[in-house]
Structure 1
Amino acid sequence: MTYRDVASRQVLTWAVVAVGARMPVAMAPLALVFLARDRPGGYTLGATLAAAYVIGEILGAPLLGMRMRPDPARPHMAAGLAVGAVGFAGLGAFPAAHPVVLAGFAVLAGGAPAAAPGGLRALLTALVPRRAVAQALSAESMLMSGIWAVAPAAVTGLALGAAPRVPLLLGAALMAASVAGLWLLPPGWDTDPADQEGASMFRLLARAWPVYVTGAASLSLLSLAELVLPALLEQRGAAVGWSGPLLTGLAVGSAVGAFVYGLRSWPGGLGARSVVLMFGLSSCVTLAALIPGTAWIAVALVAAGVLQAGAMITRNLSLREAVPESALAAGYSVMYAAVGVGYAATGSLAGALLHFVAPSTAILAGVALTLTLTLAGALGERVRRPASSAVGGKNVVADEATPATGAERAPVRGGSDPERPL
């Protein structure tokens, strides 16, 4: 179980395609703010367009993800990414259009490709030996952390140095390129036809509801860090300009945490591991809200990033355990929507509370909501687990323990041996 099991030409190709598909997503909210800031209503319009984009993601991920089938998944992902590229291109090509038109483009850009991340994650885990699934998810988390660290600087530089429409046009070009790149990857992944016998897709996914609740909790803390941090720094008497470096530290911590998580197997079951990581993450955010020094806030946020990466990977492994492989892409898409809801709910709660309480108190209220969701997910997992042993997904904990000398599954249909080195 090392990162060598993940090193292959197909995984490298997958990474390039994933960058093209995910970089526009990371750029979109800030790019929409820059697009609208010189118009009447400025930042309010930008925030509205960003909200429309997120609503498109939240609606599109489950609706389109539940229609995705592994054999083959490529046409579904390609169509969604192509339509998403049109949405980004419309935003960049018509920046002076009526706000309703821009909101429509934003919903299209967010919703149409929203099932692609789930499909790409399911394809990635099919490209590697089963024993290396945790390492593959860790590598994906590192890649996503890098994307989210680079995107804000890229958007700011292009919007201010060139034109506000340029980041959105770049997003359209990257997403369109990812469509072409899909044809360099296998068209889908093999599953056991008996996985879905006697159960609808909705029922298969509903069994995993505790994992979705925990997933919503994991990203809700990120919204606290991103949205309330400037106000918290003002409360502490620090320069608001420190927000950018502090959030970069959070992203770097997340990348480090993802790398460390994939280096070894960790003790305890996935459910217990998730609860421990979430409580540790909540403690770090609580410390960031309470301690006065900017340097100590930075330390707390870096530690939060490390733990958040582990929590996110554990939640994805838990989902693999909860649903059959035939429903994994749909499950990841529903998870994508769930974390978006958690992000929006906690951010909205904190934003509303800022009118009445100090920023540190608003953060503590968000932490309380996160812990409530974590406990609800943990209790639901204890209730669900006895029933799930007779149905649904394969036990990933057992998969991680499979010795390297054991029998490996066949290569992915339509592709070469996933163990072939670079």
Structure 2
Amino acid sequence: MNKVGDVAMGYGQLATRPVLAWALVVVGARLPVAMAPLALVFLVRERPGGYAVGAGLGSAYVIGEVVGAAVLGPWLQPHRARNQLAAGLAVGAGAFAALGLLPHAHPPLLAILAVLAGAAPAAAPGALRTLLTSQLPEVLVVTALSAESVLTYAVWAVAPALVGVLALNLAPSLPLLLAAALMAAAAGGLRALPRGWAARADDRRGAHLTRTLLRAWPSYLTGAAAMSLLALAELVLPALLRQRSIGVGWAGPLLAGFSIASAAGAALYGLRHSWPGSPRAQSLILLTAVAGCVTLMATTGSLPRIAGALLVAGLLASGVQVTRALSLREALPSSAHAAAYSVMYAATGVGYASSAALVGAVQTAAAPSVAVLAGVGLTLLMVATSALAELGTRRRASVTPRETECGHGAHAEPSPRGPRG
């Protein structure tokens, strides 16, 4: 009962005006991101070859996100991050508005606007996470990250239905105009949040930050692996159901169940302030388990078993999202957290795109189930590479103190590893 009380107190301590204001800004910033790919398809689907054009626009948007997160995230200045985020969100809102107001423009122009809509606000997810955790005591960080995951999965569950209702019943351009309004509101709502976060006295940008961020590459690889599994679940499921002679209409409810289970899993992870093992170890174990669930989904022919595999996969996948954020917090100094989250965001986009490309190529010559297994193989390769890199890092860390005691390495560069948070 004491643990239950501690949990209630942990989540209850987040129910403050600053955190609620942060949550509203997050919804305004992320709901447009979740709506964008499908909204772009609905925008041009009535044109000749509209679905192909829409898929191209969606790809352009994702490319913009990846590039924007990788470039703009490290560029953020801790002491003035709020103003920089507001500028990025405002530009993104303008790009979304232009897309909605120019539905009949030439595809190249629409593609440029889609890239801009994806790139300009791409630093927001990582920076908003840092704005939250930098204002909280360390004991609430796991709970806060779990709550953030619940909010994210809820947004992604609502977005497709919202786009469908608006585009099919009112106007194809309305989802993009709503996205513009939401992103503009998020830019204005940033005034209720802190100006930024504290930077270390010895913090330097440029090459120093790049070297610091590269230290966490195994965590980025873990993020890419997690998103590659999500791509398998989302992109191949309809074809897999058809292969098993199951109605393709089940794909929607199954993916909705996956999102609901993911939100529940994130909430469950936040029930404790710490779990056995390091976040890196937890992440790798959970990823392997999710890969097993996706494998079961591909090899079974029963709808209840497919549904069960997806529900368990969703329950575990949310833990991966939280633990990879915790891994970055452990591996890097606090001044690099926002940039690292943005690089992770870019890595997840690359993982999703890589898995999509692989399963698309395999499906041209093999059954959807084989494509899923090929994607699982790619994921496990990334997991194994990340685990080996982590093992090597631990061995070097265990050797370094002994070398220092013997007088070696006295002039080595100080470790950038800082306290968690």
| TM-score using structure 2 length | 0.92
Within the candidate set 162, 166, 169, 2:174 is matched to 166
Residue 394 of structure 1: aligned partner:
418
Shift of 1:379: 1.2
Deviations 1:105-158 (A, max 9, x none): 100000010011110011111122111111111000000000000000000000
Deviations 1:234-293 (A, max 9, x none): 001011111110000110010011000010121011222111101110011111111111
- Ranked by relative contact order (alpha carbons within 8 Å, sequence separation 6 or more), the top structure is 1
Residue 334 of structure 1: aligned partner:
343
Residue 419 of structure 1: aligned partner:
none
Shift of 1:198: 11
Residue 261 of structure 2: aligned partner:
253
Q: Does 1:111 align with 2:135?
A: no
Q: Following the alignment from structure 1 to structure 2, what is the Cα–Cα distance between the partners of residues 148 and 256?
A: 14
Q: Does 1:308 align with 2:332?
A: no
Name the SS for the 2:131 alignment partner.
Answer: helix
Identical positions, percent: 57
- Matched length: 397
Deviations 1:318-357 (A, max 9, x none): 0111111111111000000000000000011001111111
Q: Does 1:126 align with 2:115?
A: no
Q: Following the alignment from structure 1 to structure 2, what is the Cα–Cα distance between the partners of residues 202 and 330?
A: 9
Q: Does 1:325 align with 2:349?
A: no
| TM-score using structure 1 length | 0.91
- Unmatched tracts of structure 1, length 5 or more: 400-422
Q: Following the alignment from structure 1 to structure 2, what is the Cα–Cα distance between the partners of residues 222 and 197?
A: 33
Within the candidate set 57, 60, 64, 1:52 is matched to 60
* Residues 196 and 326, structure 1, Cα contact 8 Å, conserved in 2: no
Within the candidate set 351, 356, 359, 1:347 is matched to 356
Residue 406 of structure 1: aligned partner:
none
Within the candidate set 231, 243, 248, 2:239 is matched to 231
Q: Following the alignment from structure 1 to structure 2, what is the Cα–Cα distance between the partners of residues 271 and 174?
A: 35
Q: How does 1:363-374 map to 2 (within 5 A)?
A: 363-374=372-383
Q: Following the alignment from structure 1 to structure 2, what is the Cα–Cα distance between the partners of residues 224 and 70?
A: 36
Task: Indicate how the Cα distance of structure 1 residues 168 and 41 shifts in structure 2: closer, same or farther if over 3 A, else same.
Answer: same
Q: Does 1:382 align with 2:391?
A: yes
Task: Indicate how the Cα distance of structure 1 residues 237 and 118 shifts in structure 2: closer, same or farther if over 3 A, else same.
Answer: same
Name the SS for the 1:317 alignment partner.
Answer: helix
Name the SS for the 1:164 alignment partner.
Answer: coil
Question: Partner amino acid for 1:261?
Answer: Y
Q: Following the alignment from structure 1 to structure 2, what is the Cα–Cα distance between the partners of residues 293 and 323?
A: 45
Within the candidate set 265, 278, 283, 1:274 is matched to 283
Q: Following the alignment from structure 1 to structure 2, what is the Cα–Cα distance between the partners of residues 358 and 197?
A: 49
* Residues 80 and 195, structure 2, Cα contact 8 Å, conserved in 1: yes
Deviations 1:275-315 (A, max 9, x none): 11011100111111111111211111011011100011100
Residue 212 of structure 1: aligned partner:
220
Shift of 1:43: 0.5
Residue 5 of structure 1: aligned partner:
13
Name the SS for the 1:73 alignment partner.
Answer: helix
Within the candidate set 51, 54, 66, 2:74 is matched to 66
Within the candidate set 130, 133, 138, 2:146 is matched to 138
* Residues 147 and 267, structure 2, Cα contact 8 Å, conserved in 1: yes
Name the SS for the 1:114 alignment partner.
Answer: coil
Shift of 1:6: 2.2
Residue 414 of structure 1: aligned partner:
none
Q: Following the alignment from structure 2 to structure 1, what is the Cα–Cα distance between the partners of residues 90 and 305?
A: 44
Q: Following the alignment from structure 2 to structure 1, what is the Cα–Cα distance between the partners of residues 396 and 217?
A: 13
Q: How does 1:26-41 map to 2 (within 5 A)?
A: 26-41=34-49
Task: Indicate how the Cα distance of structure 1 residues 248 and 196 shifts in structure 2: closer, same or farther if over 3 A, else same.
Answer: same
Q: Following the alignment from structure 2 to structure 1, what is the Cα–Cα distance between the partners of residues 180 and 95?
A: 8
Question: Partner amino acid for 1:192?
Answer: R
Within the candidate set 362, 369, 375, 2:371 is matched to 362
Residue 97 of structure 1: aligned partner:
105
Task: Indicate how the Cα distance of structure 1 residues 297 and 395 shifts in structure 2: closer, same or farther if over 3 A, else same.
Answer: farther
Shift of 1:395: 4.9
Name the SS for the 1:71 alignment partner.
Answer: helix
* Residues 334 and 419, structure 2, Cα contact 8 Å, conserved in 1: no
Q: Does 1:289 align with 2:289?
A: no
Shift of 1:163: 0.8
Shift of 1:194: 2.8
Q: Following the alignment from structure 1 to structure 2, what is the Cα–Cα distance between the partners of residues 160 and 249?
A: 23
Within the candidate set 299, 302, 309, 2:308 is matched to 299
Name the SS for the 1:392 alignment partner.
Answer: coil
Deviations 1:1-36 (A, max 9, x none): 622332221111000000000000000000011111
Moved more, 385-394 or 256-265: 385-394
Question: Partner amino acid for 1:371?
Answer: L
Residue 244 of structure 1: aligned partner:
252
Q: Following the alignment from structure 2 to structure 1, what is the Cα–Cα distance between the partners of residues 124 and 162?
A: 23
Q: Does 1:85 align with 2:109?
A: no
Q: Following the alignment from structure 2 to structure 1, what is the Cα–Cα distance between the partners of residues 87 and 194?
A: 16
Shift of 1:184: 0.7
Q: Following the alignment from structure 2 to structure 1, what is the Cα–Cα distance between the partners of residues 205 and 62?
A: 34
Q: Following the alignment from structure 2 to structure 1, what is the Cα–Cα distance between the partners of residues 117 and 173?
A: 14
Question: Partner amino acid for 1:106?
Answer: A
Moved more, 82-91 or 264-273: 264-273
* Residues 26 and 128, structure 2, Cα contact 8 Å, conserved in 1: yes
* Residues 219 and 328, structure 2, Cα contact 8 Å, conserved in 1: yes
User: Post-superposition, which runs of at least 4 consecutive aligned residues in structure 1 deviate over 6 A?
Assistant: none
